[in-house]
Every structure is written in C-alpha cells, then in structure tokens.
Structure 1
C-alpha cells in the first residue's frame, strides 16, 4: 500500500458497488437529478420519516462553477479528440480558482489533471481508494459504462487546509475518456448558524410577511449552501417557512412520527431559546445527516437555524 495526496492505494480486487446516475448530459438539470433524494426516507433504517419536496437539492455556487467547467472541458474533447486531455494541465481556461479538470480512460489509466491529482498521471487508479477505503474511480468507471456520466462522492485532501473532506465530482464520458470536475461542498459551522439565526430574528421583527417569503426562496440571503431558516407555528408545530424545502410549509415538524414542537418548547421554556439535535436531510448532499439546531421563540412562532455535524 502506498499513500498519495491523502489517499490510499490498495492493490486489491474488491467488487464494485454503485448506483446508476440519472442522466448523461451534465447541464444543471441533469446534475440536479443525479443528486435527487428519495421522496420518503424509510423509517426502518433509523432515518427520520421525512417527506421531501419535489424540488431537487440546492445547488450551490461551487457546484454550478464545477458544472460549467465540466461542460467546457467536455466540449474541448468532443472537438479536438482524446489527445487534447493534456490541455487540462496547460491551459488556464480549464481551472477556476480551486476547481480543475481531470481525466482518465475507461480502463482506469489516469490521463491528465490541472490540480493536485496530477501525481496520478500514468497510473491505473481503479484500485485507488479514498481515506475510508471507497474505490471511487471504480464507481466512476462503472457509472460511465452504464449511463455515460453522473456524480460520485468520496473523501479527498482539501488543498486549502490539507484535511480529508467530502468531495463531490461531476463526470461525463466522451468516447473512451472520462472527464471530471470535483468540488468540496461547503459546510456551515455552529457560529455561522447562530449568526444566521440573529439575522432571521431581526428580519421577522422588522417585517414578518416579507421575512417568511424570503426564508422560502432558494435565491434569498437566507439560504446559503447548507444553511437555511425554518419557522414553526408554536401552537400547531406546522412549518410556516422552510428555506431548503418550501414544500413542507403547512406540515407538522416530526421525526419518526413524533412531533418536535413540544420538546423544543419545553427546552426553551425558561430562556425563550434552545438547541436540539436530530437526523435531517442535508439539502446540498441529499443525504440524512445529524443536524444541530439553534432556535428562539418569537411571539407565536419558533424560528430556527441549524448546521450539519460531521
């Protein structure tokens, strides 16, 4: 076993486990559908019984930039042929700040990279695993054979702070070449959630109806990456606003069928504020993660903002 750039390379013949991507063209609509989560999360897997919206997960600015860069790289290979992969390491048009393009062939040979993965050029990476042993290149090749493109997630060294963080990569097959662009999804932390809650509270006090409308819009200042605001009716427990899933408005906030409003009000009865943790769908990953929420009581409403714990 050898280590390269925070990953581990295993010489093994592990089986491939993958899910088919939902589309080939990697425009925004297809990338969204690739990330889409199930309509109902099954309770028999200890996940909350959450009915999600028909809207796809929130696509962040970083994801949009990655998709634009991928489209540009794919068009380049379509026009100039497979030998043009070398341009990904030479031409500035194939980088966007921390984002870069890389390519491998259908046999797993790493062909080119405009970033830190350039150390892999010439290697067969089918047995390359991330820091948790996931054979993500195998997954990528398998998806490319079936659907021609998709999304794969793994843990890769973030060059900004040298930590192994989740990375999400969009890719597309062009002939025998797989072209890919990945990004590190941004994750909020506790102090950012508290700051968001302060802003949301001020907005509700200033103009309640305008604030509720803004909380429900994905393009407003109150939705940023995996941070968003939700508001509950204190009397019924129903959502009055939900930044990630506006479809939930009018429905009762519950986990595994248990309404949450009673517990949250009890925790806040002395100070008018509280915090609570529970499993919930992360809108930027489409996965259920542990969420820690800070909230306040404001008249007949409960307003909350949480962050997803790693």
Structure 2
C-alpha cells in the first residue's frame, strides 16, 4: 500500500478512537514517561495555539520547542487538510487527505472531524512506521480538537506488556488443550491469532526436548533445545526445561532478538504445561 494511504488510515484510526476523559487514557504499562511526554507536548501546543493563533502552526512544523527525539505534534483541519507536523508527515502539509480514503473510511473520518469541541483529550492506538528505526510499530496517540483543527501527539510502543504475553499464553494453552494438532499447525503457519505484535507462541515437546511448533522461526521446528543459544551465545535450552521441571508453570529470561524491532533484547519467557507439551510466550525489555 502506498505510504500516503497508510498515513491517511493512521489519521482515521487516531481520530476515531475511543474517548477516555479529559486526562486521556491510562498509559501502556512501562511507557508512563513516554505518555507523560506526549500529553505534555500536546497540551503545550494547544495552549500556544489558543494564545497565539495560526502563527503557531509554522512553529509546530519545525524541529524545536514542539518536538522531542521521539515525539512531535501534527495538526489536521476539520476539512481533512494536514496543517502542520513536526515529523515525517510534514510532506502532507497543505494536502486534503480525504480523497485518499475509500467511501466507508471517508464517512468515519468525517464523523471524527465534526466531533464537538469540548476540551476533551481523546486517545487511540494504531500502527505506523517509526521514523527512528524504520519499523512498523504500535503507536499510542492523544488528540484534542480546538476550533476547526485537531491537534495530536503520541509515542511508539515497540514492546508488548507482560499482561499481553500472559493473555496470549492462556489463549494458546486453551487452544492446544482443545485441538492439539490443529493448534500446532496454526502456530507453525504463523496464524495471526498466535502472533500479536512482538509476541508469538512456541511449543516444546518435553518427551523429546524439541520444538513442536514455533510462531516466529519455522527452521526451529523439530530442533533439539540442546542446541538453542541466546543472542550472546549462551546455551539456554536446559535453562528453559529446568524452569518447568516438576512445575505446571514457569518463567525464565535470556537474550533474544525482538522480531518486531530487530534489536537484541532481554526476553522474559512465560510457560505453562499442557500434558507433555510446554507452551511458551515471551515479552521483551530493553535490558
């Protein structure tokens, strides 16, 4: 899909998001600082616009007081025209993005742009290319309408939370208990139900100590855990098995490459036993 269509859809998803109240939604766990920064930047831009008017739009489109290393403000008019952006979307300034949308999306976009001005901050998550690393990542955006303009600022969420990893682990374990063969097949063909952002499921056959399924690297299917190494070269197969020795649930950590960002990070793997299978899902942290 052309980049400009991706951006238009991103704007649509941003502006049609749920309303979480005047303070915006609760930040994603582990991203409280980024959420504070985005909301502060948005409030600063809205305040400046209310005090100075349209001249502020030019300031928003320059690197400076309304941008940080990872956050910027952009502004869309209620007519669907990009008016300002301190980020890569500045190439759309002056363009009406509505013609880029199909009829169904255009209706939703129009409804969002005609929402009442009531000083309420809205919040929404969508997927967008992170200009810092070139990766498609989840982004949490706060936005507010001021007159005939909508101001927005957000932060990227390259890593899933422990709670999200636990939910996927529970879902996978339940699925495996219901239909083992079908579940293993779905994991191995990278079914989206078992792949959520940087989270994926892998399954170990404890009787053979081999991978019965892997939701990220099919080359590991049937491979013995005795050969598995972390990103720093450490053998980690025995550690994974030992964490489940005599237990129904376990957890371990090791260096692994984040499939979404491509970075070498610390992976925290959660595990549950289902008969002779060990079902596992891991989430990442920077260190």
| TM-score for both structures, normalised by structure 2 | 0.49
Of Structure 1 and Structure 2, the greater helix share is in 2
Of structures 1 and 2, the one with the larger relative CO (CA 8 A, separation 6+) is 1
| TM-score for both structures, normalised by structure 1 | 0.46
